[in-house]
Amino acid sequence: MFYKDLEAQHVGKAIIRNIQKKVNALTYQPKLGKVDHTVSTTTNRYYFLVIKHYKIFYTIKGQAIFIVYVYDTRQNPSSLKIDE
């Protein structure tokens, strides 16, 4: 059991590192992700990056990039709701 717990921690940390690496790339390429028309509105455009089983949703306001949602794509898609 101990080995399994360590392995799960290692995998979790690797996923977090992957997400951080991709999100850090937004500093240089803010429009790296694709526009998600299903959650974008007339006032807010949302972009997303796919990393393994996760969709990272973000929006751009001036020079700032805001991560608004990290969605596990193994969930029911109807559970995806981004509040304005």
pLDDT of residue 14: 84
Bridge partners, residue 49, by sequence: 56
According to DSSP, the residues that pair with 46 across neighbouring strands are 59
Q: Tens digit of pLDDT per residue, the chain (84 long)?
A: 444 565 667 777 888 888 889 889 999 999 999 998 888 888 889 999 998 888 899 999 999 999 988 888 887 777 666 665
Query: Domain boundaries in the chain?
Result: 2-79
Distance, in Å, from the CA atom of 65 to the CA atom of 48, rounded to the nearest integer, reads 12
Burial of 33 (0-12, 13-18, 19+ CB in 10 A): buried
